[in-house]
Amino acid sequence: MTLKIIASQCTSCSACEPECPNVAISEKNGTFVIDPKKCTECIGHFDEPQCAAVCPVDNTCVIDNSFPRYQPPA
């Protein structure tokens, strides 16, 4: 799995971008998006997904169920 940003709720405050340990977040057309290929749910880096922890709008950085679970390297 990966996290995704609900574009309609994103305020474009940019707070999540520098917090991501995998540089998975970037700006696109005025809102921020997560690259599902880079996101690791912060596993191996931090206890909680950083983007969700810093985001001022609740339930904006959420689990994207359309992707398979992230597998940490053994």
Interacting residue ranges for another protein, rule: CB under 8 A: 11-15, 18-19, 27, 29-30, 46-48, 50, 53-54, 56-57
Q: How far is the CB of 30 from another protein (least distance, A)?
A: 4
How far is it, in rounded angstroms, from Cα 26 to Cα 18?
Answer: 9
Among ligand SF4, another protein, none, the one that 44 touches (CB under a kind-dependent 5 to 8 A) is none
Among another protein, ligand SF4, none, the one that 29 touches (CB under a kind-dependent 5 to 8 A) is another protein
